[in-house]
Amino acid sequence: MLTERLARVRAAIAGFVYGLTGYEFARHALEMRHEMETVFMVVTMGDLVGVPVLPPIYSLRLLPYVVPEVATWKRHVARPREFWDKDEYDLHGL
């Protein structure tokens, strides 16, 4: 009982410290990956945004790799956003 409680407290503290320190790097790495994915998607899957950029043969060959990401990717790029969205998380401490 006590061991379980201690483990929970330790996990909570570990999570808090991770949130204070490494989490922002993880988030930023994700953002960078999504930016590259967006470029990749637009170049290879132009049809998704109504712009046939490359011959469909490439799209078809890449499609199996892209399908799992399409839903979340579309949500990310199609969302209306504030102009400061990109910088907001960096404005610490005011």
Partner 1 sequence: MNTLLAVIIGAVTVYLAYTLYARRIDRHVIQSDPKRATPATLYMDGVDFMPTNRNILFGYHFKSIAAAGPIVGAIVAASLWGWLPAIIWLVLGVSFIGWASDYSAIVISVRNEGNSLSAIAHRLVSPRARTILFIFIFFYLLLVAGAFVGIMATVLESQPRTQLGVIVLTVMGLLLGQMLYRWRMGLVGATVLTVGVTMLAILGGAWTEEIFKSLNTGLNNLAGGAPIVTYFDPTLANFKGADAKIMPSLLFWALAICAFCYAGSVLPIWRMAQPVVYVGFWLTATAMVLGLVGAAAASFVKPEVAQFVIPAFKGFNPQLGPAGIMPLWPMLFVTIACGAISGWHALFGAVGTARQIENEADMLPVGGGSMLTEFLLGLLALLAVSVGAKGAPVGAFATGLGGFISVWGVPIQYATSLAFAAFIVIVLVVTQLLFRVQRVTLSEWLGDVIPPVRNQHVASLVSIALAILLVLTGTWVYLWQLFGGANQLMAALSLLLVTVWLSSVGKNWLYAGLPAVFMYVTTLASLLVTAYNIYVNVYQPNMAAGRVIPVIGSGLMVLVALLLVAAAVIIGIDGWRAFQRYRHRPVQQPRPAAVRV
Residues that bind partner 1 (CB under 8 A): 11-25, 27-32, 34, 72-73, 75-76, 79-80, 82-94
Of residues 60 and 71, the one with the C-beta less far from partner 1: 71
Specify the residue, 5 or 75, whose C-beta has the smaller distance to partner 1.
Answer: 75
Name residues whose C-beta falls within 8 Å of residue 25's C-beta, 6 or more positions apart in sequence: none
Cβ atoms < 10 Å from Cβ of 70: 13
Nearer Cβ to partner 1, position 54 or 76?
76
CA–CA gap between residue 53 and residue 59 (Å, rounded): 10
Nearer to partner 1 by Cβ, of 39 and 56: the residue is: 39
